């Protein structure tokens, strides 16, 4: 993706958050411009072409706006050669525990998307073809992590996909940097993280395979000092992602 196109997508996605508050707008711009996961999702075609997304721990719901902005750019002929068409967002449901972020999300979400306040350990997941969990599960204890993943597996349609980003607790200094930034961001958002339940990447991989997912992993720290990885977990059957 060219720097110009990425800047346009960032601007388009962040713009609605001006109506929420200054923090929401600045956070959206910084997150979208600096976090490699948003471009990777598009570049590697990680989401099914007709995407019905459940975003667990969605924060401000940036993913919905990002996918919608990418679809508009593609329709206008502004898309990198060799990249698959971005997914068409047919549905988006974000679950977030922080009331402030739910309010911010509702300000910035596109028309076909919704956000609700809830605890991912308790809320009903429904039935979707895409689940996204970015930097969230380490806030809950390991038994609850596994229970959420089992429920995700049950809610996914054949050919569906789970995108799970986690920090690798076995990664030494880079992981410690990740934890420090996590601590800072949670406080800037008015949140206290409590005890974090981080685990080695191999443990996450094993849990997903035990649930019947086929799993591949992508390092997701390009341009950052972190130890993050994206696990792409497929259910098999159907058309899946691109």
Q: In the 3-class helix/strand/coil scheme, how is the chain assigned residue by residue?
A: CCHHHHHHHHHHHHHHHHHCCHHHHHHHHHHHHHCCHHHHHHHCCCCECEEEEEEECCCCCHHHHHHHHHHHHHHCCCCCCCCCCCCEEEEEEEEECCHHHHHHHHHHCCCCEEEEECCCCCCCCCCEEEEEEECCHHHCCHHHHHHHHHHHHHHEEEEEEEEEEEECCCCCHHHHHHHHHHHHHHHHCCCCCCCCCCCCHHHHHHHHHHCCCEEEEEECCCCCCCCEEEEEEECCCCCCEC
Q: What is the pLDDT of residue 186?
A: 63
Q: What is the pLDDT of residue 112?
A: 87
238 pLDDT tier (thresholds 50, 70, 90): low
CATH architecture under which domain 3-234 falls: 3-Layer(aba) Sandwich (3.40)
Residue 178 vs residue 78, higher pLDDT: 78
Q: What is the pLDDT of residue 234?
A: 97
Q: What is the mean pLDDT of residues 195-218?
A: 94
Q: What is the mean pLDDT of residues 141-162?
A: 97
239 pLDDT tier (thresholds 50, 70, 90): very low
Mean pLDDT of the chain: 90
- Domains of the chain, by residue range, sit at 3-234
> pTM (2 decimals)?
0.91
């Amino acid at each position: 993706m060219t720097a110009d196109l990425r800047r346009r997508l960032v601007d388009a996605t962040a713009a609605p958050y001006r109506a929420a508050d200054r923090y929401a707008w600045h956070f959206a711009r910084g997150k979208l411009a600096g976090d490699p996961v948003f471009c990777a999702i598009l570049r590697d075609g990680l989401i099914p072409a007709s995407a019905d997304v459940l975003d667990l721990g969605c924060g401000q719901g940036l993913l919905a706006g990002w996918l919608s902005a990418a679809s508009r750019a593609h329709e206008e002929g502004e898309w990198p050669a060799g990249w698959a068409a971005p997914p068409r967002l047919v549905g988006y449901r974000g679950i977030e525990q922080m009331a402030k972020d739910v309010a911010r999300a509702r300000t910035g979400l596109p028309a076909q998307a919704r956000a609700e306040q809830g605890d991912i350990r308790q809320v009903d997941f429904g039935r979707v073809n895409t689940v996204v969990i970015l930097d969230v599960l380490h806030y809950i204890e390991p038994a609850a992590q596994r229970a959420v993943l089992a429920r995700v597996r049950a809610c996914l349609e054949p050919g569906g996909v789970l995108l799970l980003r986690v920090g690798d607790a076995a990664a030494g200094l880079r992981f410690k940097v990740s934890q420090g930034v996590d601590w800072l961001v949670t406080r800037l958002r008015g949140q206290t993280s409590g005890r974090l339940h981080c685990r080695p990447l191999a443990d996450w991989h094993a849990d997903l395979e035990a649930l019947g997912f086929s799993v591949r992993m992508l390092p997701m720290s390009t341009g950052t000092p972190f130890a993050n990885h994206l696990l792409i977990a497929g259910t098999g059957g159907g058309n899946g992602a691109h």
